Structure 1
């Protein structure tokens, strides 16, 4: 998936979580964007990889693409680190749900993700799509609609 689709997924996930949790939708959607971009630190051509090229190359050299940074191990490790060092639960929750949205979206690609790293087994959905395809653009549109819906709901109930 492209960066714009991951961003839309992070926003939608953050707003949906804000709706069910009652937490601040603005903080959750912003943190959801950050979380949705973090797993691609292993790809130097990604939005975050271009911003942090040295870190991106190092992570890719050590772990490869869609391996450790796309695993449950990384998700749990990030949850512990964020819980220990970030005093705001909404920021931690937003980053985690954004990362989870990234994983789900990348499971919809042909390559899938190494969800159970270090086990060399890729997880993907039975029906997949190619990055940048018309199907991905449709998914992006659905995520935008979900963002509007949950954004309205979350803000209405938060205020």
Structure 2
């Protein structure tokens, strides 16, 4: 999926979790948004990768795209690390990462960014590099842009409106 779709899905998780954490709404929503794009730190072509390109290139060189940062181990490690400081914020980061992994598990693409690791996500990495998921939506395709992205934006907007 494209970064904008990952962010929209993270916003859905963020507004729902923000409603459940009074007083921590903004940090919780921000953590979910960050988590929704954090796994793509493994590619210098992503929204986050372009901003942190030296780190992104190192992670890409080490794991490739849709490698270790697209696993359950990464999700648990990142969420637990942040949960030490604030459990609700750590849970929100984990939820954002989970939306990213779910979206990438059902999407596929072509080109340099996908040839190293392919479609799906290595959910059980490092125990197995076998991909979990199936090829349902083409990255930046019609279904993503005309169904998933608008649906997520409307859902996040509607849920967020109730928080005001």
Residue 142 of structure 1, aligned match among 143, 151, 155:
151
**Superposed displacement of residue 114, structure 1:** 0.9
TM-score by length of 1: 0.87
Q: Please, which of 97, 122, 125 is the counterpart of residue 117 of structure 1?
A: 125
Match of 1:6 in 2: 6
CA RMSD of aligned residues (A): 1.6
Using the TM superposition, give the Cα deviation of residue 93 of structure 1 relative to its aligned residue in structure 2, in angstroms.
Answer: 2.2
1:17 aligns with 2:25: no
Secondary structure in structure 1 of the residue aligned to 2:107: coil
> Relative contact order (C-alpha < 8 Å, sep 6+): which is higher?
1
Following the alignment from structure 1 to structure 2, what is the Cα–Cα distance between the partners of residues 142 and 70?
24
Q: Which deviates more from structure 2 when the two are superposed, residues 103-112 or residues 88-97?
A: 88-97
- How far apart, CA to CA, are the structure 2 residues paired with 1:38 and 1:32? 10
Unpaired runs of 5+ residues, structure 2, are 109-118
Contact 1:25–1:151, Cα closer than 8 Å, also in 2: no
Long gaps (5+) in structure 1: none
SS in 2 for 1:116: coil
Task: Look up the SS of the partner of 1:132 in the other structure.
Answer: coil
TM-score (norm 2): 0.84
Matched residues, number: 151
Give the distance between the partners of 1:150 and 1:25, measured in 2 at CA: 13
